[in-house]
Amino acid sequence: MSVAGHDAQDPLGEIASWVAQTPAAWPDAAIETAQNALIDTVACMVAGASQPPVRKLYALVSNWGGGTSTIVGYPKSLSSPWAALVNGACAHVLDYDDNFDPAKAHASAVLVPALLAVGEEESLSLGALLDAYIVGLQAMGHIGQAVNPFHRNRGWHATATIGAIGVAAGTARLLGLPREQVTHAISMSTSRAGGFMSQFGTDTKPLHAGFAASGGVQSALMARAGLSAGTQTLDGPHSLRTLMVGQDVEALAEEMVGRDEHGQSTSFIAGRIADPLHIVAYGLKVKRFPNCGSTHRALDGLLELRERHGFTHENVEQITVRAPASHLRNLPYDDPKTPNEAKFSLEYNLAAALYQGQVGLSDFTPDAIARSEIRALFDKVRKEPVEKLESEFPTEVHVRTSAGKELSTQIVMPRGSRQRPLRRDQLFKKLDDCCAQAEHWVRADALREGLANLDHDAKISDLTTLLKSTQPHTIS
């Protein structure tokens, strides 16, 4: 397809060639970011293991047969596709896992569980996992840029769609598949790509990460077994780009010419599969709040104003948030009834932050979301959507005090992003907080030491051994 002079005749072949053939010679910044993503995702899985949707999923899937891949927080090992399914849901269930802008997806929640599962099953090294992570992330980002921002803005949950394809590419790299089999793996994974944003606030939302992780793993294993797939699945009349953006995709691509939304052009651009290297150029948005990332710029703004000016919930009359409409559409619950819904409620999160100066894991339980003192503040929150891209309009937070004082700030990128990264000690503080949610089974000190001193030559099983539990979880 051609857009404004850009021409990509065979994006699938170009991506597959790069996945199969690019040397594993990454800059230090890429390796460091990949290591941090592993640490952060392990933290999220440890805390997520005891959540009801994960317990129910494990109880079901553990009856489907055993294997050699660890399930985080559980005693039984499963085959790699089923381990990827459960651990993917485990990584995403708290919505504490990172975001990746080029794909508009929760990249690590699909890549890390998949690569851990396959790598353990194949007795591979942590160094091989980090290499496959970087490659899978790059493929996910490149394909995401060719369909976004409209793919995501029209209601597809890109974690479940583009995520599955990135996993297929990363798993193919981990397995060392040749170009032809990589092509089949990526192509086949488009048939496993699906998931709508209408599932936000339900148990199925975290399952999307599990579906993507498992589907990508299955696609790579099936390609290695000799199963084939089509060559026109990324671009063309009956492809991902046309069907998951719309028949107006070419007109939309023209709209994106000259605009910079995390490299998203809604078109494949030849020769750009590795230019730039996404893990360095865009990085990841590591979360400091366990909720939908669309709340984070507003939360950062409110908390910064609160700290700077010293106001409390008692002397605030109104909070107005002006934000890209795409952010506010992700937050449909103005009166959340469940912890899942509360994660997608701007009203709840700003009220909690205003009242207590922070939002954390303990704020998303049935008792926490029912607190009358928090709910009494919901009416103070006003939302004003702005029909501009995320990169074109920063989130504005305006606070009016009971004394009539007007306080305002703008947040372009949240804390935890490449532009405002979390420090290493903050990342390990998050790990400690997550381990505290699993103190009945996790060996927190050993896990912390293992993640702080990652040996690239060590087997993946050296890490996953620390993630297994012999303690049963009660299903509720």
What is the predicted pLDDT for the residue at 470? Answer: 74
Q: Decide if 349 contacts 330 (C-beta within 8 A).
A: no
What is the predicted pLDDT for the residue at 353? Answer: 98
DSSP for 86-138, written as a single string: HHHHHHHTTS-S-BBTTTTB-HHHHHHHHHHHHHHHTT-BHHHHHHHHHHHHH
Q: Decide if 229 contacts 223 (C-beta within 8 A).
A: yes
CA 275, distance to chain mean position in Å, is 22
Query: What is Dmax (Cα atoms) for the chain?
Result: 71
In the chain, which residues fall in CATH 3.30.1330.120? 293-411
CA 453, distance to chain mean position in Å, is 24
Phi-psi group of 385: left, alpha or beta (phi > 0 → left; psi -120 to 50 → alpha; rest → beta): beta
Helix then strand then coil, in percent of the chain rounded to 5, is 55, 10, 35
378 burial level (CB within 10 Å; 0-12, 13-18, 19+) = middle
In the chain, which residues fall in CATH 1.10.4100.10? 2-281
What is the predicted pLDDT for the residue at 211? Answer: 98
What is the predicted pLDDT for the residue at 445? Answer: 97
Residue (of 234, 324, 274) closest to 8 by Cα position: 234
Rg of the Cα trace of the chain?
22
423 burial level (CB within 10 Å; 0-12, 13-18, 19+) = exposed
Tokens of residue 263, six digits: 């490299």
What is the predicted pLDDT for the residue at 442? Answer: 96
- Rounded CA-CA distance 297/410 in Å is 8
CATH class belonging to 293-411: alpha beta
CA-to-CA separations, 390 to 54, 341, 407, in angstroms, rounded: 32, 23, 22
CB-CB neighbours of 275 under 10 Å? 10
Q: Please provide residue 51's backbone torsions phi and psi, each rounded to the nearest 5 degrees.
A: -70, 145
- Quick one: 2-281 is in which CATH superfamily? 2-methylcitrate dehydratase PrpD (1.10.4100.10)
Residue (of 467, 456, 461, 458) closest to 131 by Cα position: 456
Q: pLDDT per position in the chain (476 positions), as tens?
A: 333 333 457 999 999 999 999 999 999 999 999 999 999 999 999 999 999 999 999 999 999 999 999 999 999 999 999 999 999 999 999 999 999 999 999 999 999 999 999 999 999 999 999 999 999 999 999 999 999 999 999 999 999 999 999 999 999 999 999 999 999 999 999 999 999 999 999 999 999 999 999 999 999 999 999 999 999 999 999 999 999 999 999 999 999 999 989 999 999 998 889 999 999 999 999 999 999 999 999 999 999 999 999 999 999 999 999 999 999 999 999 999 999 999 999 999 999 999 999 999 999 999 999 999 999 999 999 999 999 999 999 999 999 999 999 999 999 999 999 999 999 999 999 999 999 999 999 999 999 999 999 999 999 999 999 999 977 555 44
- Rounded CA-CA distance 151/41 in Å is 25
